[in-house]
Amino acid sequence: MDKKVKVGIVGASGYSGEELVRLLLSHPHVELAAVTSRQYAGQSLAQVFPKFGHHPQARNIRFTEPNVSLLAKNAQVIFLALPHGVSAEFAVPLLQQGCQIIDLSADFRLKSAAVYKEFYAHDHPAPDLLATSVYGLPEVYRSAIKNALLVASPGCYPTSILLPTLPLLRAGLIKPAGIIADSLSGVSGAGRKVEQDYLFVECNESVRPYSVPKHRHLSEIEQELSLAAGAPVIIQFTPHLIPVNRGILSTLYFTPAIHFANATEAAALNDKITACYQAAYANEPFVRLLDAKTLPDTKNVIGTNVIEIAWRLDTRTGRLIVMSAEDNIVKGASGQAVQSMNIMCGFPETAGLI
Amino acid sequence: MDKKVKVGIVGASGYSGEELVRLLLSHPHVELAAVTSRQYAGQSLAQVFPKFGHHPQARNIRFTEPNVSLLAKNAQVIFLALPHGVSAEFAVPLLQQGCQIIDLSADFRLKSAAVYKEFYAHDHPAPDLLATSVYGLPEVYRSAIKNALLVASPGCYPTSILLPTLPLLRAGLIKPAGIIADSLSGVSGAGRKVEQDYLFVECNESVRPYSVPKHRHLSEIEQELSLAAGAPVIIQFTPHLIPVNRGILSTLYFTPAIHFANATEAAALNDKITACYQAAYANEPFVRLLDAKTLPDTKNVIGTNVIEIAWRLDTRTGRLIVMSAEDNIVKGASGQAVQSMNIMCGFPETAGLI
Amino acid sequence: MDKKVKVGIVGASGYSGEELVRLLLSHPHVELAAVTSRQYAGQSLAQVFPKFGHHPQARNIRFTEPNVSLLAKNAQVIFLALPHGVSAEFAVPLLQQGCQIIDLSADFRLKSAAVYKEFYAHDHPAPDLLATSVYGLPEVYRSAIKNALLVASPGCYPTSILLPTLPLLRAGLIKPAGIIADSLSGVSGAGRKVEQDYLFVECNESVRPYSVPKHRHLSEIEQELSLAAGAPVIIQFTPHLIPVNRGILSTLYFTPAIHFANATEAAALNDKITACYQAAYANEPFVRLLDAKTLPDTKNVIGTNVIEIAWRLDTRTGRLIVMSAEDNIVKGASGQAVQSMNIMCGFPETAGLI
Amino acid sequence: MDKKVKVGIVGASGYSGEELVRLLLSHPHVELAAVTSRQYAGQSLAQVFPKFGHHPQARNIRFTEPNVSLLAKNAQVIFLALPHGVSAEFAVPLLQQGCQIIDLSADFRLKSAAVYKEFYAHDHPAPDLLATSVYGLPEVYRSAIKNALLVASPGCYPTSILLPTLPLLRAGLIKPAGIIADSLSGVSGAGRKVEQDYLFVECNESVRPYSVPKHRHLSEIEQELSLAAGAPVIIQFTPHLIPVNRGILSTLYFTPAIHFANATEAAALNDKITACYQAAYANEPFVRLLDAKTLPDTKNVIGTNVIEIAWRLDTRTGRLIVMSAEDNIVKGASGQAVQSMNIMCGFPETAGLI
């Protein structure tokens, strides 16, 4: 026990926070040393989340009020599972006191305070930190995460879109213009927000688009695509709410950079795409490249840190269709944050995640 | 009662057939005179579908074996709710015996027997009828339906895509090239097929694309779009299965034919689009054009013959996004078929549907 | 139009109110003359409930602030779809101004103000009216409803329990002691309450009992059972929340008053029970007695005013098991209220309900 | 690796078999050495169950035809996840070849071949084994399981009913007569059976009782209750199907053996009941006794081997209500089977389960 790294969670009462609790309680190399929640201060994890009640530690660990000094004293690595704008209030002093921070909010994902303001409608609370924070997509920024003090863990939609797109864009296999991402998310994506729109009766037997055409996650998606393309990329993104608890399915429409006029040329291009994905992800423990007979299904990734990816060239339209499936709360949030922690702390990257 | 038109349903045991029963039992101007089903012959409607049990007629009407002469004797209008390929076997002799036919299968939707063979993988069983059948989309072919002997009622996906697209295409407001339709369907869309893929546990908490990239419904969608554009149109279409009983949500991506460079020009174009939709649908009883604050939601159309349509210009990408919602079994199948019947028989078009 | 009865709905924004709107908009003998909602005053029905948008009146009728004088002026029959305690505030002055009232709250269901206080934890707001209000269960109190000025429409659970139990109790076929009612309700039963417990993610893939062992609905259930038995009846009642939008399934455990020792005696008793139910309900348009092969299923009653009832004698235990299924918002609330209105106004009892 | 116990699964393609695969792939002390399935022979685990694809072994392990000699050669412990009647065909020869068997079917749960025939409608295929098989409820038969060669893992409903009932019955706190168990099960309880009743559209938005009044699981429930009571016990049991993938909620109605006339006596009895449960389960890793404010909820046990239990005395009726929640596929099937294996093999009992 003495060699375990002490970790804390600020804002542990939402869905991402709860999932962090689940993952960290079972993690072989960490000790969950602090969980905070204004709402639940004083209560044990087992009281607030009965489902963890059979875990011995869940009966001993109690929620506390969020207190920076106490957190810094008790934990080396701090996860912030807070609303955007609020995260920065904790990140700044905790960094000063020597903690390593993994932030699940949007506060440190963008490199530009101006873009932040455009999409989040208020001034960035700590613009100086934007230069040093690392975007926590391990498959892309593994080495930077290794030495990071502040990791900005990606959003759920961005993860489902960036992982399938970045290798193709970097390899020049698709055109950066005209990309469309059509995404379907389970209701936990809205957080534990007590609003009429997310009541059972309002979501069950309902499917609906929302935030059309300018969802906030576009800011980080386009930032990362632009970095990969070496030029500004603007995409079309349409999120939809579907009646499942967990899961994001993204269907992506690309124009291949290489024209193909017949089945032979299509097969050749398909080989290039396959090779590109294999080069990028064959050794990634959490990316599952599907074969030509299989399409993604969120039920195959629920509860895991895996993202599934499949692709099809359409010889009729000349387009490339790529589809991905992930658990929005795991690979799209808390699992990916733990993956970053594993890298930062020198643990095996899959520790506590498989 | 004596003035009511006698109607029959062949293949009344699937979801479309069952919905036809529901609509026709309550229809003020028809008498449900015959329902056939090999599986249920001899049983009453109330026995097979307990939910209709409180309707007096449901206890009296019994399923019979499908028999062409008997059907022709007992009913003037026949609905065929049969698999493709099988419908034609009934349509041909029933037409010869003077019945009017409304076919819910794909057998008579295509004008070209060659395209039928390409998409349905067998020779067309009655190619001579393709020239006379009318595609049963009342908002487009009302006058032809009025005099039709054979109406081919459209597929569920095609209805959700064609109604939002055709007015824009005819008005020249969108480019015919590069159209993308991303559609989400409830599980009843698969019919009452007893296959593992459609078991509750396999569908619940699951979202998945299928038939990528060449779904059969493309054939009728592209036929109708090409007719409207006056030139061949090829589109991208990706269907997804989502865990709801009923409902299709289609998100359509168009390139406007008119370029817009700023907010003013966008507003002008938006006005044109709005005017186009108003001209096409303001008086249509089953098309609901949503305002600029509202997006479609399948829960608002379930159980009704209504299709909801909303549109948004994206000044960032230059694209037009149009979204529609319908009940796949009503406007996407049986409700639309009854709407055609109302037109053919000279009933008020909304009879039995509002 | 001029001969239609004018009706109003106070508190039309909850699920029961919304369902009243649906039923009354299509009702052949009434005009929906007033709908009130503090939250939505000024907006049209079509704006608040897009799903009614295709109904011409829904675009014309606007929510108003609840105003007693205005209501009394505009409508003859007023439905109160308000929380308990609030209903009485409207019922008293509306009655004084000559309106007929159908109250969907619990305010006037109990004959005893003391029992009301025991179960609802506050003094009854208008105890004088308890003597004149009629419990709106048409199958039991049809003639009283006919002349009532104030109908207290029953709760959803009580309806599902009373209709199967009362005939047996009155006929002396079951013992009044030891009755157990185990009930399962869809989430709409909680109303459109914006609380964490009713969020999609908290209800989906969840089943749970609640209010054990003393739910408020016990008060009216036991009042009516006691009246039927001619002696005080106390029952066991356990409600459960299940992830469906609509529907209540109640499973009732009775001890037959007549002992049966073998299959022959069981068959004889079963005949008596069947005869009892037939006598009570064979001519009731909204009670469906199932045959010996069929069990209730909420999906067969959703959207209808029907309650399904089935019964099985268990020769192993000597018990009688009776099961019922209803739509909690229709037969369990708004449909039953409209049924009462039909009786009060002299309309055919099924008007607007089949 | 060399010290791991080799295990096999016969019939690994159903829901219980699939869950065994999940648990055994991650189990620290076993090697999954053989999985059989006639349907999938030749395919890898990763091909048949894409969701296990990120587990390295899942790509290497292939389904084989079920072959007794091969199984006996490759594995020491064999799980049988087969239909009743078929299990015995494998159990007999595998035992002869020296394997330890954990059978998830009903074949060896009953001590009486006559009762088996009464409930399963065919002669018992291997009655000689009934005397030696051990009912695999670890909380009750731990020491017998330790030395068992043949463990009959309990059914899902029986587990949810026996664990809450047995301690009370043994302690004489409840009367053995008149027990009622009202249970709600997710659809996976029906297995991966491809039947119309279990299609998504038939189960979603549906709740229904079934097998009333004599479900097969009564046989093992009553056998175990009778053993605990020292006299024959007959209970009332009503299963219901609800639209969730996993989970059983059982609500049990008992008559306390000790009469209580007022709140003080009730509190005293409640203390006795609490003490009884504490004595039975306080140290059980998989039984969660809830406090007086909390009721069971299947969502708190899904995916775990935990059963939740809560109890309430009803001073109005004199009854004791006990409620339990479990995951029907884990504690109700595969998790409990692994728990038995841990005991048989001398592993920590929670290995691979927490």
Measured distance CA(A131)–CA(C56) in Å, rounded? 58
Q: pLDDT band for position C56 (50/70/90)?
A: confident
Question: Is the Cβ pair A242, B207 closer than 8 Å?
Answer: yes
Note the pLDDT tens digit of each residue in A89-113. Answer: 999 999 999 999 999 999 999 999 9
Measured distance CA(D150)–CA(D91) in Å, rounded? 8
pLDDT score of C288 more than 70: yes
Chain D residues whose beta carbon lies within 8 Å of the beta carbon of residue A303: 303
Note the pLDDT tens digit of each residue in D107-116. Answer: 999 999 999 9
D247: left (phi over 0), alpha (psi -120 to 50) or beta: left
Which residue of chain B comes nearest to C309, CA vs CA?
B50
Measured distance CA(C84)–CA(C86) in Å, rounded? 5
Question: Is the Cβ pair C316, D213 closer than 8 Å?
Answer: yes
Note the pLDDT tens digit of each residue in D1-49. Answer: 458 999 999 998 899 999 999 999 999 999 999 999 999 999 999 999 9
Instruction: List residues of chain B with CB under 8 Å from any CB of chain A.
Output: 180, 182, 184, 202, 204-210, 212-214, 234-236, 238, 240, 242-247, 249, 251, 253, 295-299, 302, 312-314, 316-317, 319, 321, 323, 325
| Residue of B207, B296, B297 lying closest to A244 (CB–CB) | B207
Number of A to C CB contacts under 8 A, please give it: 58
Note the pLDDT tens digit of each residue in C133-176. Answer: 999 999 999 999 999 999 999 999 999 999 999 999 999 999 99
pLDDT score of A2 more than 90: no
Question: Is the Cβ pair D201, B195 closer than 8 Å?
Answer: no
Percent share of chain D, pLDDT over 90: 97
Beta strands in B81-200 (DSSP E): 100-103, 134-135, 150-152, 180-185
Rounded to a whole number of angstroms, the CA Rg of chain B reads 20
Question: Is the Cβ pair A200, C15 closer than 8 Å?
Answer: no
- Given a contact as 3+ CB pairs under 8 Å, which chains touch C? A, B, D
DSSP 8-state assignment for residue D171: T
Domain boundaries, chain B: 5-132, 157-328
Question: Is the Cβ pair A354, D306 closer than 8 Å?
Answer: no
Chain C nearest C-alpha distance from D234 (Å):
7
Chain D nearest C-alpha distance from C121 (Å):
18
Which residues, other chains included, contact D64 with Cβ-Cβ below 8 Å and sequence gap of 6+? Answer: D34, D35, D36, D41, D42, D70
Q: Nearest Cα to D5, choosing from D345, D335, D343? A: D345
Question: Is the Cβ pair B288, C26 closer than 8 Å?
Answer: no
Residue A66 has what pLDDT?
95
pLDDT score of A224 more than 60: yes
Residue with tokens 């078991």: B199
Question: Is the Cβ pair D187, B194 closer than 8 Å?
Answer: no
Instruction: State both tokens at A3.
Output: 């060699």
Chain C residues whose beta carbon lies within 8 Å of the beta carbon of residue B308: 50
Chain B residues whose beta carbon lies within 8 Å of the beta carbon of residue C299: 51
Chain D residues whose beta carbon lies within 8 Å of the beta carbon of residue C233: none
- Given a contact as 3+ CB pairs under 8 Å, which chains touch B? A, C, D
- Given a contact as 3+ CB pairs under 8 Å, which chains touch A? B, C, D
| Residue of D213, D316, D325 lying closest to C321 (CB–CB) | D213
pLDDT of chain B along its 354 residues, tens only? Answer: 458 999 999 998 899 999 999 999 999 999 999 999 999 999 999 999 999 998 989 999 999 999 999 999 999 999 999 999 999 999 999 999 999 999 999 999 999 999 999 999 999 999 999 999 999 999 999 999 999 999 999 999 999 999 999 999 999 999 999 999 999 999 999 999 999 999 999 999 999 999 999 999 999 999 999 999 999 999 999 999 999 999 999 999 999 999 998 999 999 999 999 999 999 999 999 999 999 999 999 999 999 999 999 999 999 999 999 999 999 999 999 999 999 999 999 999 999 998
Question: Is the Cβ pair A15, C204 closer than 8 Å?
Answer: no
Which residues, other chains included, contact B266 with Cβ-Cβ below 8 Å and sequence gap of 6+? Answer: B260, B313, B315
pLDDT score of A1 more than 50: no
8 A C-beta contact, residue B50 and residue C294: yes
Question: Is the Cβ pair C201, A188 closer than 8 Å?
Answer: yes
| Residue of B205, B294, B306 lying closest to C54 (CB–CB) | B306
Q: In the structure, how many helices (H) and strands (E) does chain A have? A: 12, 14
Query: Chain centroid to CA D111: how far?
Result: 17
Q: pLDDT band for position D208 (50/70/90)?
A: very high
Note the pLDDT tens digit of each residue in B177-191. Answer: 999 999 999 999 999
Q: Nearest Cα to A183, choosing from B293, B256, B249? A: B249
The 3-state secondary structure of C259-305, one letter per residue: CCCCHHHHHHHHHHHHHHHHHHHCCCCCEEECCCCCCCCHHHCCCCC
Which residue of chain A comes nearest to C246, CA vs CA?
A201
Residue D2 has what pLDDT?
52
Q: pLDDT band for position A264 (50/70/90)?
A: very high
Question: Is the Cβ pair D245, B196 closer than 8 Å?
Answer: no
Residue C2 has what pLDDT?
52
CA dihedral D154, D156, D158, D164 (to 10 degrees): 110
Chain D nearest C-alpha distance from B28 (Å):
29
CATH number of A5-132: 3.40.50.720
Residue C3 has what pLDDT?
83
Measured distance CA(D200)–CA(D183) in Å, rounded? 21
Average pLDDT, chain C: 96
* Mutual angle of helices D138-146 and D156-170, in 10-degree steps: 100
Instruction: List residues of chain C with CB under 8 Å from any CB of chain B.
Output: 26, 50-51, 53-55, 205, 285-286, 288, 290, 294, 297, 299-301, 303-304, 306, 308, 354
Which residue of chain C comes nearest to A193, CA vs CA?
C196
Instruction: State both tokens at D329.
Output: 């596929």
Note the pLDDT tens digit of each residue in D294-305. Answer: 999 999 999 999
Q: Selecting from 3.30.360.10, 2.60.290.11, 1.10.10.10, 3.90.25.10, what CATH number does the domain B157-328 have?
A: 3.30.360.10
Chain D residues whose beta carbon lies within 8 Å of the beta carbon of residue B298: none
Note the pLDDT tens digit of each residue in D278-337. Answer: 999 999 999 999 999 999 999 999 999 999 999 999 999 999 999 999 999 999 999 999
Note the pLDDT tens digit of each residue in D36-94. Answer: 999 999 999 999 999 999 898 999 999 999 999 999 999 999 999 999 999 999 999 99
Query: Chain centroid to CA B42: how far?
Result: 30
Measured distance CA(B39)–CA(B60) in Å, rounded? 18
Chain C residues whose beta carbon lies within 8 Å of the beta carbon of residue D184: 184, 207, 240, 242
DSSP 8-state assignment for residue B184: E
Chain D residues whose beta carbon lies within 8 Å of the beta carbon of residue B205: 245
Q: Nearest Cα to B226, choosing from B287, B279, B165, B146? A: B165
Which residue of chain A comes nearest to B316, CA vs CA?
A234
Question: Is the Cβ pair C323, D246 closer than 8 Å?
Answer: no
Helix ranges (H only) for C128-262 are 138-146, 156-170, 200-203, 218-229
Percent share of chain C, pLDDT over 70: 99
Question: Is the Cβ pair A209, B240 closer than 8 Å?
Answer: no
D156 is catalytic: yes
Measured distance CA(B192)–CA(B195) in Å, rounded? 9
Rounded to a whole number of angstroms, the CA Rg of chain C reads 20
Chain B residues whose beta carbon lies within 8 Å of the beta carbon of residue A209: 249, 251, 295-296, 323
Number of A to D CB contacts under 8 A, please give it: 46
Kind plus residue range of the DSSP H or E element containing D239: strand D236-241
Which residue of chain D comes nearest to C202, CA vs CA?
D299
Question: Is the Cβ pair B198, D196 closer than 8 Å?
Answer: no
Chain C nearest C-alpha distance from D345 (Å):
34
Chain C residues whose beta carbon lies within 8 Å of the beta carbon of residue A15: 201
Measured distance CA(B308)–CA(B290) in Å, rounded? 7
Residue B2 has what pLDDT?
52
Note the pLDDT tens digit of each residue in B314-351. Answer: 999 999 999 999 999 999 999 999 999 999 999 999 99
Which of the residues D201, D206, D244 would you substitute to probe the B interface, choosing the one with the greatest number of B C-beta atoms within 10 Å? D201
pLDDT score of A270 more than 60: yes
Note the pLDDT tens digit of each residue in D134-175. Answer: 999 999 999 999 999 999 999 999 999 999 999 999 999 999
Chain C nearest C-alpha distance from D250 (Å):
10
Q: Nearest Cα to A128, choosing from A154, A144, A108? A: A108
Note the pLDDT tens digit of each residue in C174-208. Answer: 999 999 999 999 999 999 999 999 999 999 999 99
pLDDT score of D354 more than 90: no
**Residues of A identified as active-site:** 156
State the catalytic residue, choosing from D156, D203, D276, D345.
D156
Question: Is the Cβ pair A205, B246 closer than 8 Å?
Answer: yes
Residue B186 has what pLDDT?
98
Whole-model pTM: value is 0.97
Residue D3 has what pLDDT?
82
